[in-house]
Each structure stands twice: as C-alpha cells, then as structure tokens.
Amino acid sequence: MSKYVYGIDVGGTNIKFGLFLLPEMHLAHTYETETPVVDQQTSIFNKIIESITQINNEYNINFDDILGIGIAIPCPVKNDYVEHCPNLNWEDMNVSNELRKHLPKHVSVAVSNDATIAALGESQSFDKPYNSVVFYTLGTGVGGGIIIDGKILEGNTGFGGEIGHMWVSNEETDITCGCGSKGCLEQVCGTAAIFRYVKELSKDEKTSIDIKYLTVKNVFDAAKAGDSVGLKVVNRVAEYVAISASILAVVVDPEVFIIGGGISRAGGFLLDLIVDHYKKHARFSTYKIPFILAKTGNSAGLIGAAHLIKNKIQ
Ligand SMILES: [Zn+2]
C-alpha cells in the first residue's frame, strides 16, 4: 500500500497543501485555501484537518496511509513551540501538540519557520541534494534559512537563520528596521530599500526608470540596459548580499548559497554581480563557495515541510 506525507505551508493569506508519495517524495497533489481570519488560535487547525480530510477523500486515500505532516509557519519556532506569531495571531502555542489533538495517533507532526523550511525544500530540489546551504529570500522582506549537515538550524530560541537582520551597513539613515535596529541586510536589500535608493539617486541623475511606477523588475531591466541609476542600485543590493554571505561563509561554511525570493527573478544578471563582490569579500577558501538561483519558487515551503517530516519519521 502506498504511504504519504503532507507538506503544508501556512501563510497569513493562504494555506498550501502538498501530498507527497513516499519514499521518492513525488508530489502527487496540491491544494490551496484561504487562511481563516477569525479565532485563528483554533480555526487554522480546523481548516487544516478539514482540508486534509477533503484531499484524502477526493483521491481515495485512507488516513492510515498518511504517516506524517510537516508544517511551515511564518514566525520563529523552536521545538514546535511558538511564543508569538503576529501573522497568525498565535501566542504561546505548541503547534504540533495542537494539531495532533485532531489526528489519529500514528500521524507524526513536524513544524518549523517557513524560510528555514524553504531552505530545506530548495536544498533537496536539485539533482544532487545539498547537505549544507545558506538560502536567501530577497523580496519585500529579506530572510533566509540555514541547513547544516541536512538539519535545519533553529538555534536556541528559533531565531537562527534570520539573516535579514544581520548588521551590514553603516550608511547614515533615519530608517529603523522592524527589529528595532539600523543597517540590517533587509534595510539595504529589500524592495523598499531598492525603491528608496532609486528615488534618492534620481534627484541628481538622469534615469530611464519611471519613478512614479517603481517595480523591482523595472529597476533591474533598466540596469541590464545600462541605466546608471539602475546599475548603482542593483550593484548595491549585490554588494550587501555578498558582504553578508562572506560573513556567513566563515561561520557556517555552506556547500552553496541559494538565492531566492521575488528579487532573484533578476536571474543570472544579479547572481553574477553578487559573485563578483563576494570574491572580493570572502576569506580563506570560502571564495570558492558557489551561488545558485533557487529552483522551486513558491513550492519550496511545501517541499521543505514534507522533507522535514520525512526526516523525522525515517
Ligand atoms: Zn532588522
């Protein structure tokens, strides 16, 4: 009889489900539903159980053949415990105990932070899976996850891998990061930072970028076409990512840096610039660590969550 695990990615807006066939982890079915907004402390769990039951029924799968459920959630997690999750209005909760109340006894549950889980998903998605990676998500927020020897790094309280809050810039700024500090990677490489820098430079320099309708794509397209403002902005993103990577390289020494998130859609153009800067900043033999683009995009959470539970039950 076929056996399965679920990978579930719980976000503030949607909950995504992936049903994976063991042992080869083939993604058999996907499903997506809206995240309930009322009484989230209980309603999200009810919705998860309701959705799983519905998927099982639709594909004629017996609960006996579901061995485990992996869950990605948008906040720091330590040993399945969440102190505070503003995106889901959860407080003081053991997520796996909460979910297991509704499940047959044989079903295992594993939980971790979504960016960390995405790192695991990405690391497992290449023809030859990577064991030790640093994964970046570059977008509105800058985050990431760290996998060492196949294990996700949560740290002592769940803040391990919050690479967007590494201090990298001593540029003068009035802007304080969400974490309360200044000069975080997110504050110089996130979407808002990109737009701010375009606006600032365009006061003194001519640019083909339409300042009224700023998008990350327009900024990168302008850079690729040789626009000097676009080039400076993209170059700054690349340099700060490279500086942060050079620090992480001497801390965790990964096999590879994987670059994901909306900004990474700039592709090889951005990657090449990051590598150029990285080689200047890297110490010892860490300059050899390659950078690659993320592969799975929005499915990284599902895939990573499924691998997290697979690793737990094996
Ligand atoms: Zn910060």
Q: Domain-by-domain residue ranges, the chain?
A: 4-122+298-313, 129-294
Instruction: Name the CATH architecture for the domain at 129-294.
Output: 2-Layer Sandwich (3.30)
Class in CATH terms, 4-122+298-313: alpha beta
- Distance of CA 268 from the midpoint of ligand 1 (Å): 27
- Distance of CA 125 from the midpoint of ligand 1 (Å): 29
Spatial separation of the C-alpha atoms in residues 71 and 228, rounded to whole Å: 44
Spatial separation of the C-alpha atoms in residues 301 and 27, rounded to whole Å: 13
- Distance of CA 290 from the midpoint of ligand 1 (Å): 26
- Distance of CA 241 from the midpoint of ligand 1 (Å): 14
Written as one letter, the residue type at 297 is G
Q: What is the Cα 211 distance to its own chain's centre?
A: 29
Spatial separation of the C-alpha atoms in residues 258 and 6, rounded to whole Å: 24
Spatial separation of the C-alpha atoms in residues 55 and 78, rounded to whole Å: 29
Give pLDDT, residue 215. Answer: 95
- Distance of CA 141 from the midpoint of ligand 1 (Å): 10
pLDDT in tens, 128-173: 999 999 999 999 889 999 999 999 999 998 899 999 999 999 998 9
- Distance of CA 76 from the midpoint of ligand 1 (Å): 14
At 309, list the tokens. Answer: 């539970």
**Pairing between β-strand 142-148 and β-strand 151-152 as defined by DSSP bridges:** antiparallel
- Distance of CA 214 from the midpoint of ligand 1 (Å): 23
- Distance of CA 179 from the midpoint of ligand 1 (Å): 4
- Distance of CA 194 from the midpoint of ligand 1 (Å): 16
- Distance of CA 218 from the midpoint of ligand 1 (Å): 26
- Distance of CA 164 from the midpoint of ligand 1 (Å): 6
pLDDT in tens, 113-126: 999 999 999 999 99
Average pLDDT score, the chain = 95
Does the pLDDT value for residue 42 go beyond 90?
yes
pLDDT in tens, 51-91: 999 999 999 999 999 999 999 999 999 999 999 999 999 99
- Distance of CA 78 from the midpoint of ligand 1 (Å): 20
Spatial separation of the C-alpha atoms in residues 310 and 314, rounded to whole Å: 6
- Distance of CA 5 from the midpoint of ligand 1 (Å): 35
Fold agreement (4-122+298-313, 129-294): yes
Written as one letter, the residue type at 209 is I
* Strands (DSSP E) found in 139-272: 142-148, 151-152, 256-260
- Distance of CA 163 from the midpoint of ligand 1 (Å): 9
- Distance of CA 144 from the midpoint of ligand 1 (Å): 13
- Distance of CA 166 from the midpoint of ligand 1 (Å): 7
At 99, list the tokens. Answer: 């979910």
Confidence of residue 297 (pLDDT cuts 50, 70, 90): confident
Under a CB-based contact definition with an 8 Å cutoff, are residues 121 and 258 in contact?
no
Percent of the chain beyond pLDDT 70? 100
At 297, list the tokens. Answer: 């995009």
Give pLDDT, residue 314. Answer: 84
Which residues is 27 bridged to in the sheet? 20
- Distance of CA 46 from the midpoint of ligand 1 (Å): 34
Neighbouring residues of 200: CB distance < 8 A, sequence distance ≥ 6? none
- Distance of CA 177 from the midpoint of ligand 1 (Å): 5
Phi, psi dihedrals of residue 226, rounded to the nearest 5°: 95, 5
- Distance of CA 171 from the midpoint of ligand 1 (Å): 14
Confidence of residue 196 (pLDDT cuts 50, 70, 90): very high
pLDDT in tens, 7-25: 999 999 999 999 999 999 9
pTM of the model: 0.92
Confidence of residue 298 (pLDDT cuts 50, 70, 90): confident
Alpha-carbon separation of residue 285 from 76, 149, 250, 255, 276 (angstroms): 32, 19, 10, 12, 15
